[in-house]
Amino acid sequence: MKLILLIALILTTTASNSQKKPNPVFNVMAFTDVPKYMELCGENLFLNKQDEKSRKFICYTDYSQILICINSKLIMLNTKDGSLKNHTRSFFNKDYTMVIKYDPLKPINAENYIVTGAIITIKYHSKIIWTKSVIGGGHCGTP
C-alpha cells in the first residue's frame, strides 16, 4: 500500500512539474512624459497621426538610449552607437532588445527629419513580443 501511495505521489509531482507555465503578457503602450534630460536632441515615434498630434509616444530616443513602456512600466534601453547603420538602430538591456528598421528618412533641414515609415521589433530575451509600423521625426541633427 505504501508503495502504491509513493508511486501515485511521484506521478502527481512529475505531472504538475511538467505542466507549461503560462507565457508572460507584454503590452507595449504609448506614453506622454519624457525625462527632461532626453528632450534636447532625439527622435520621437508614434503608432499613428492621431498619437503624433496628441504626443503619445510609442518610443522616444536621445540616440544613446530609448524609452519604451511595457505593461505600464517605462523601460530604458541603451545602445553602443545611436547612429543609423544600414537604415537600422538597435537598443538593448538585460531583458529586451529593440530594433528600428527605417524607410529612407525625409530631411526637413540640417537638424530635422521626418520618419515616414519604420518598423519596430521588440524582443524579450530571444522571443519577438511586438512588431509594429511607426511614424515620427527627429530633431537636433540628422543621424
Provide the pLDDT for residue 25.
87
Provide the pLDDT for residue 142.
43
Q: From first to last of its 143 residues, what are the pLDDT tens digits of the chain? A: 555 554 555 655 555 555 566 678 899 999 999 998 888 888 999 999 999 999 999 999 998 999 999 999 999 999 987 677 889 999 999 999 999 999 989 999 888 999 999 999 999 999 999 999 999 999 874 44
Provide the pLDDT for residue 86.
85
Provide the pLDDT for residue 134.
98
Least Cα distance to 51 among 78, 32, 76 occurs for: 32
Residue for cell digits 544613446? 64
Provide the pLDDT for residue 143.
45
Q: Please tell me what DSSP assigns to residue 66.
A: E
